[in-house]
Amino acid sequence: MQFKDIVGQTVTANHLTEIIDSGRVSHAQMFLGDTASGSLALAIAYAQYLNCEHRQHYDNAEGGLRADSCGECPSCKKFQQLTHSDLHFYFPNAATADVKGSSISAADFQGEFRDFLNANKQRGTLDDWYDFVGVEKSQGLIRERDADDITRTLSLKAYEGAFKVVIVWMAEKVHPVAANKILKTLEEPNPNTLILLVVESSEKMLSTIVSRTQTVRIPRLKMEKPAVNEEFNTLYVTWMRQLFKLNMASLSSWVDTMHSKSREQQKRFLLFAQEAIRDSFLRNNAGLPSKMDFGDEKFNASFPTMITERNIESINDAFNDAIYAIERNAYAKMTFMELSFRMSKALKKR
Ligand SMILES: [Zn+2]
């Protein structure tokens, strides 16, 4: 997980990389904010940056990302696959149909939790996780056995990275007995170990734990209005024009541009374009005023007439398939090419 893939948290990302670059890394930190705002994703990106062998710094004066992990070094590669031996996850767990018994712990669900994260669920909620793993009752806890595992993990030196990192997701779900054990660990830290408590509500946390951690507040995401995204506007207008001409050379360079973007960006663009097409359809067929302005009057006037009830359904299907594919890490170049062909075919049926 690189910071560049976490939409809408550039300011927080810059703050986090500064902490690391200045060498002021506190051994216990609390990432406080909604998981949906990217708190867990930020914790993983933070751990990856901390252990990256070639941290990247950008000369970016315009409020962009100032630093990120390289994404290429052996450490980053393992972090991105969530297989780094110095990255440990703890999270609420409970008995499921497959995993039963009195001594269950997060250790029993490591594979499932990584699958959950890999399924683009870094912003998933606790309920999403329970659904994913099949916990029937929402009685997930971080248990005494988990606290013992955390203590043991943090007592060992980093195996291959510079820092051993323990991420405790939804740490407010720590059982009181476990919380006291974790507190002991916080009081006697080992060098080059780091515990990140990812928390949505600090009121439910033991105050003695809170006072021993450095708090990083993760701001709630504001929804960006698609209509003001100029980059997406330009990409969209260029794309639609190419679909009419079906100029393979320029279409394929457009597809390359999309391919080079992050998954999150690709998905956001697809959602933006799908909304733009829906807007055109409503304007053309239901006489509703348009909410979109593509910054190009000719396009604003002519494009909506291309979307009719004869093609809207097949266009929508094509977009849904593409979004589904991107969410499941399909090869982006193929996805955007296939979508282009389906769009081009549908536009002829107006
Ligand atoms: Zn790296």
**Cα 50 to ligand 1 centroid, rounded to whole Å:** 9
**Cα 292 to ligand 1 centroid, rounded to whole Å:** 40
270 by Cβ neighbours in 10 Å (0-12 / 13-18 / 19+) ranks as: buried
CB of 350 closer than 8 Å to CB of 306: yes
HEC readout, the chain? CCHHHCCCCHHHHHHHHHHHHCCCCCCEEEEECCHHHCHHHHHHHHHHHHHCCCCEECCCCCCCCCEECCCCCHHHHHHHCCCCCCEEEECCECCCCCCCCCCCCHHHHHHHHHHHHHHHHCCCCHHHHHHHHCCCCCCCEECHHHHHHHHHHHHCCCCCCCCEEEEEECHHHECHHHHHHHHHHHHCCCCCEEEEEEECCHHHCCHHHHHCCEEEECCCCCCCCHHHCHHHHHHHHHHHHHHHHCCHHHHHHHHHHHHCCCHHHHHHHHHHHHHHHHHHHHHHHCCCCCCCCCCCHHHHHHHHHHCCCCCHHHHHHHHHHHHHHHHCCCCHHHHHHHHHHHHHHHHHCC
What pLDDT does residue 224 have?
45
What pLDDT does residue 27 have?
93
Residue ranges of domains in the chain: 3-217, 226-348
**Cα 52 to ligand 1 centroid, rounded to whole Å:** 4
What pLDDT does residue 61 have?
58
Q: Which residues have CB under 8 Å from 14's CB, separation 6+?
A: 65, 66, 67
Place of tokens 């699958």: 115
Q: Which residues are 87's β-sheet partners?
A: 165
What pLDDT does residue 120 have?
62
**Cα 20 to ligand 1 centroid, rounded to whole Å:** 14
Distances (CA, A) of 105 to 128, 149, 208, 287, 314: 19, 9, 24, 58, 47
Place of tokens 């980093």: 158
What pLDDT does residue 213 have?
94
Dihedral sign (CA 233, 66, 6, 224): negative
Protein residues with C-beta less than 5 angstroms from the ion ligand 1:
52, 69-70, 73, 76
Domain spanning 3-217, CATH class: alpha beta
Profile the chain (350 residues) by mean pLDDT over runs of 10 residues: 87 95 93 90 96 90 85 96 95 87 90 88 82 79 95 86 92 94 90 94 88 92 58 91 85 94 90 90 76 79 87 92 92 96 90
Place of tokens 């946390």: 205
**Cα 51 to ligand 1 centroid, rounded to whole Å:** 7
**Cα 345 to ligand 1 centroid, rounded to whole Å:** 43
**Cα 350 to ligand 1 centroid, rounded to whole Å:** 49
Q: Which residues have CB under 8 Å from 266's CB, separation 6+?
A: 258, 326, 332, 336
**Cα 249 to ligand 1 centroid, rounded to whole Å:** 34
Question: How many CB atoms within 10 Å of residue 72?
Answer: 13
**Cα 80 to ligand 1 centroid, rounded to whole Å:** 10
**Cα 216 to ligand 1 centroid, rounded to whole Å:** 23
Does the pTM of the predicted model rise above 0.75? no
